[in-house]
Structure 1
């Protein structure tokens, strides 16, 4: 059973903190955290992403963006990224994590969740919808792994 998940996006202020919150709510017995490959360190969740998440019923906790590091990657049993570029960068920079780094949208034809940063509220709402659609697939797969 996977006991720790790290959600990763670019800045750790839009997609990954929302994915973290959605997964944490769906998997209360799993430690879920987030980070960014090019994090805006210390920043709170983007206001549009936060508003879209709240509108869609995702409970957000206080957040401060943090940088992905090899230590964070080592601590996580599963690393869920938002798009293929994130996965490619992790594999290039930290090849030891290739086997545990997967797209959040993996079970939906390897769907990528586009970055809504500075793209308007509609894009934030759509990104959050896509995250919400992907989370149940992971919940189901992780439950199946338990037996």
Structure 2
């Protein structure tokens, strides 16, 4: 599977396994509640260079017993890049870190306006064709 990253698209193999929560705290909670140990989903990323060793692991507690879609879990696990890119734009392009006031209302207004500007830019980019000439 592939996902966007700062240095370009990355590719790796992923697998999904159902695991049971373990350890003394989990056993105590289950014993106190009179229930079985909870099932979790373990998302495993294996890089193509070293397929025998897991590169990253994510543990998810999802409702229901149906197997979640692997692509969706990978997309959720890899949203860090999108968050970092958005924050960098808030900071570098829109100036979220430029506020020098000392009051909560002033800071709140500043952050609200910067966030609204980011929303405007995102909507503008979504509506503008990728190969359109600049205005």
Question: Going by fraction, where is strand more abundant, 1 or 2?
Answer: 2
Determine which structure has greater relative contact order: mean sequence separation of CA pairs < 8 Å that are 6+ residues apart, divided by chain length.
1
Q: Select the structure of larger CA radius of gyration.
A: 2
